Amino acid sequence: MAAERSSGHVAALVLARGGSKGIPLKNIKKLAGKPLIGWVLRAALDSGAFDSVWVSTDNDEIEKVAQDFGARVHRRSAEVSKDTSTSLETIQEFLQQHPEVDVVGNIQATSPCLHPSDLIRVVDMIRTQGYDSVFSVVRHHLFRWREVKTPGEATIPENLNPEHRPRRQDWRGELYENGSFYFATKELIVRGLLQGGRMAYYEMKPEHSIDIDIDLDWPIAEQRVKRFGYFGKGTPTVVKLLICNLDGCLTDGRVYASPEQELLSYSLRDLDGIRKLQDRGVTVLLISERMIGPSLISALKLPCKIEANVTDKREVLQRWTSEMGLPLSQAAYMGCSASDVECLKLAGTSAVPVDASTAAKMTDSFPCTQGGGYGAVQEFAEHILTLMETGR
């Protein structure tokens, strides 16, 4: 039976060099409103699984951000701060100066969807199951083919039989390192190994597995972290007002017109979302840039006020928060067009449907998976309720 090492000192260590060829000062660049390194530091600290949480850096700005999040700082030497320096060399230097550490959990700053629950399980594998090293993996369903190096050479499959291609649901796929973290004992690291001894992998959820290397990765990571990231144990969010663009959020943006009248349609699921918010004391206001007559407003039979012919959405947001005596942080806004962008940025909580304009999607807003008129409002309402209940 594997021996426990419950009395050993387990340290989380995030390597964050100031120099970066791909993205300058990448480790503290804002991702979804927070410094990149802050996402993993918050997960590590909130897990309560570590005896200490450290950032190894050679940069003053990174040091300050690390300390602001509550981590301790190891100022690495110039010898391990070069472009050619390896993670192993940097961790070995850390251990030389901190001999009390028995196990190092090397957590990558570029994995912002890491959750405390993952780290708690991994530390338990080290402490109570006796593993010497544990590393993160993700499951992929990818068919591999041998690389062709000589012109005219034929390739061959490496992990499938083309005559019997499996369906995705019939194939478990393969495990690949995702680089999110590498835990190893001091003994292994001193020997020059990050993986060795009694090894185990920890399989992360695909939605939590993301790495940022170049600028093109950034918008993908930002959308992923807004949906799947860990937002901390903080005080639950307070939302007292939701202002929603009727055209393109509650509806799909279409108008059905005839000489006698025009018609709009919306999803009853969204109506349910509005009522759930109202049951929690949230005031809901629908706005439209179009001129909507009283008869159509009445026919919609919506349980909230509709303000039509709006030419300045920011003015409406500021007027309603002022009249209700609310800070903007307690207002939520849902929009889909370029005219919504300013309000999406001002409101404390914001969201866009999946079919919103590019300008709206580029704001720091919760990205719904549903389109306008097809459940996006309900999805945002449920997100707001989650924030209010858990502080996520």
The CATH number of residue 52's host domain is: 3.90.550.10
235 located within any domain? no
Range with lowest mean pLDDT among 66-70, 158-162, 289-293: 289-293
| CA 246 to mean position of chain CA atoms | 28
Q: What pLDDT, on a 0 to 100 scale, did the predictor assign at position 300?
A: 79
Q: Is the pLDDT of residue 1 over 50?
A: no
Q: Does any domain span residue 347?
A: yes
In this predicted structure, the answer to whether residue 27 has a pLDDT above a threshold of 50 is yes
- Is the confidence at residue 317, as pLDDT, over 60? yes
Could you give the residue ranges of the DSSP H alpha helices within 145-252?
186-190, 217-228
Asked if residue 23 and residue 113 are part of one domain, the reply reads: yes
Least confident among 59-73, 140-154, 262-276, 334-348:
262-276
Beta strand spans in the chain (E): 10-15, 30-31, 34-35, 52-57, 72-75, 103-107, 133-140, 174-185, 199-203, 241-245, 256-257, 262-263, 283-287, 305-307, 331-334, 349-352, 366-367
Question: What's the pLDDT band for 286 if we cut at 50, 70, 90?
Answer: very high
Helices and strands of the chain, counted as H and E runs? 12, 17
Per-residue pLDDT of 158-172, as tens digits, reads: 999 999 999 888 999
Same-domain check for residues 77 and 189: yes
pLDDT of residue 21: 63
Q: Does 77 lie in the same domain as 210?
A: yes
Calculate mean pLDDT across residues 230-251: 86
Residues 220, 341 within the same domain: no
- The residues that are catalytic are 165
Count: domains in the chain? 2
Whether 260 shows a pLDDT value over 70: the answer reads: no
Average pLDDT of the chain to the nearest whole number: 90
Does residue 121 lie in a domain region? Answer: yes
pLDDT of residue 157: 95
Is 146 a domain residue? no
Total count of residues recorded for the chain? 392
Residue 295 has pLDDT above 60, yes or no: yes
Most confidently modeled range among 18-32, 318-332, 361-375:
318-332
Pick the residue with more confidence: 185 or 290? 185
**Most confident of the ranges 18-22, 81-85, 206-210, 313-317:** 313-317
Q: Considering the domain boundaries, does residue 245 fall inside one? A: yes
Supply the CATH number for residue 352's domain: 3.40.50.1000
3-state helix, strand, coil in the chain (%, to 5): 35, 20, 45
Predicted pLDDT at 34: 84
Whole-number pLDDT of residue 259: 66
Please state, for a pLDDT cut of 70, what percent of the chain lies above it. 93
**CA 223 vs CA 114, 176, 220, 367: distances in Å:** 15, 23, 5, 7
Q: Write down the pLDDT at residue 234.
A: 60
The contacts found for 281-285 with CB under 8 angstroms, 24 or more apart, are 281/240, 282/239, 282/240, 282/241, 282/242, 282/332, 282/384, 283/240, 283/241, 283/242, 283/320, 283/324, 284/241, 284/242, 284/244, 285/241, 285/242, 285/243, 285/244, 285/316, 285/320
Give the structural domain span for 66.
Answer: 10-141+173-228
